[in-house]
Amino acid sequence: MSNSLSILYFGPISGTCLDRANALRRLGHQVEHMDLRLLLPKTPWVDRITWRLGGNLLAPLLMRGLENKLNGQRFDLCYVDGGEWVTPQVISLIRRYAAKVINYNIDDPLGPRDGARFKAYRQSLPHYYLNVVVRNENFVEAYDLRANYVIRVYRSADEISHAPRQLTVKDHQTWDSDVLFLGSWFPERGPFLQDLIRQGVPLTIRGPNWHKAPEWPQLKSHWKGGSIGGDDYAKAIQCAKVNLGLLSKENRDLHTTRSLEIPALGSLMCAERTNEHTSMYAEGKEALFWKDAKECAAMCNFALSDESRRKAIAEAGHQRVKKNGHYNEMILANILVAAGFRV
């Protein structure tokens, strides 16, 4: 690639963050991926302080380790994924090594759910060259906090991590399910899934923290394990006849990463009806939508009763997500252009 950039990438070296760093590499850029959490003490108190008091309090510890790591290096761009410990002072330090510093945040850093976790992010908004957000609310709120330049993008699936796998007999034995919800427990999700079970939906639940749900006694027999990633994550979605797309109300979601990953993997998505979901997929043709547990149960039963229709909707959704271009490489290329680079 003639316009290859040297990019310093801050974020966990796992999950969707790693997917985005790898997508930048596939676009032809040189990426130095660094997890800032590894520069802070290993004690769990670091995470407790971040969530309860704010990651800005830890910036002095971060700066010492960061300066040692970056000594003698030079980058075209620093891409901060998240930014819960990146204060204006940290950005000033980074600018000694990178020509531009931008932020991409897939969470709701200006909303109510995560408490003090993103205090540093809020302080730093005016100091980034570009802020990339995934909610219309954040777009407005960032400018209210004197952000320099903000763009809003949709979340994205990954061309590699969310490509359909060739499934074996063993894969089906391990991962087959009728209706799957794959995700973390949040307070509003327990009653919803309990309601589906009461209506006879053959539900499988996978994900962390479900033991915290008040409805755990009713949900326990449907829970098949905690967090999964990589091939296991992809195979679990592929092997489900119906995949539920639940939103986080506190996170002000109108779509989630699952909204792209499920169709990208060629599976049927049955998600809450929102204006963003209905703009992404044709209802009843490319995905199924619902407004409450009663309608969700009806959609699940409809899909389970008609295999040919279910597969046709799943395939149409797969083609639509490709047409929409909601994949990492395209989204990241657009972000680089917005940051002033030729790609």
Quote the percentage of the chain above a pLDDT of 70: 99
Closest to 240 measured CA to CA, from 258, 219, 256: 258
Query: 249: pLDDT confidence band, cut at 50, 70 and 90?
Result: confident
pLDDT recorded at residue 113 = 82
Q: For 253-271, what is each residue's pLDDT tens digit?
A: 999 999 999 999 999 999 9
Q: Is the pLDDT at 2 greater than 70, yes or no? A: no
What mean pLDDT comes out for the span 69-84?
95
Domains and CATH numbers, the chain: 6-156+327-338 (3.40.50.2000), 169-324 (3.40.50.2000)
Closest to 132 measured CA to CA, from 144, 147, 150, 120: 150
Q: For 26-43, what is each residue's pLDDT tens digit?
A: 999 999 999 999 999 999
CA-based torsion, 264, 158, 184, 280: positive or negative: negative
Return d(Cα 234, Cα 262) in angstroms, integer.
9
- What is 165-200 written as a DSSP string? P---HHHHHHH-EEEEEES---TTHHHHHHHHHHTT
Which letter, b or e, does each residue of 197-222 get, where b requires 16 or more Cβ atoms within 10 Å of its Cβ? Answer: beeebbbbbbbeebeebebeeebeeb
- What is 247-275 written as a DSSP string? --TTTT-SS-THHHHHHHTT--EEEE--H
Max intra-chain CA distance, the chain: 63
Return d(Cα 16, Cα 22) in angstroms, integer.
10
| Lowest model confidence (mean pLDDT) among 47-56, 288-297, 313-322 | 47-56
For the purposes of burial, counting CB atoms within 10 Å of the CB of 2, is it exposed (0-12), middle (13-18) or buried (19 or more)? exposed
Phi and psi torsions of 30, nearest 5°:
-95, 120
Which letter, b or e, does each residue of 31-43 get, where b requires 16 or more Cβ atoms within 10 Å of its Cβ? Answer: bebbbbbebbeee
What mean pLDDT comes out for the span 127-156?
96
Q: For 157-174, what is each residue's pLDDT tens digit?
A: 999 999 999 999 999 999
Q: For 204-216, what is each residue's pLDDT tens digit?
A: 999 999 999 999 9
What mean pLDDT comes out for the span 140-147?
96
Closest to 182 measured CA to CA, from 213, 226, 219: 226
Torsional class of 266: left (φ above 0), alpha (ψ -120 to 50), beta (otherwise): left
For the purposes of burial, counting CB atoms within 10 Å of the CB of 181, is it exposed (0-12), middle (13-18) or buried (19 or more)? buried
Return d(Cα 150, Cα 141) in angstroms, integer.
10
Return d(Cα 45, Cα 177) in angstroms, integer.
39
Return d(Cα 256, Cα 172) in angstroms, integer.
26
Return d(Cα 11, Cα 36) in angstroms, integer.
7
Q: Is residue 136 within 8 Å of 101, Cβ to Cβ?
A: no
What mean pLDDT comes out for the span 225-230?
92
pLDDT recorded at residue 343 = 78
pLDDT recorded at residue 1 = 41
What mean pLDDT comes out for the span 149-154?
97
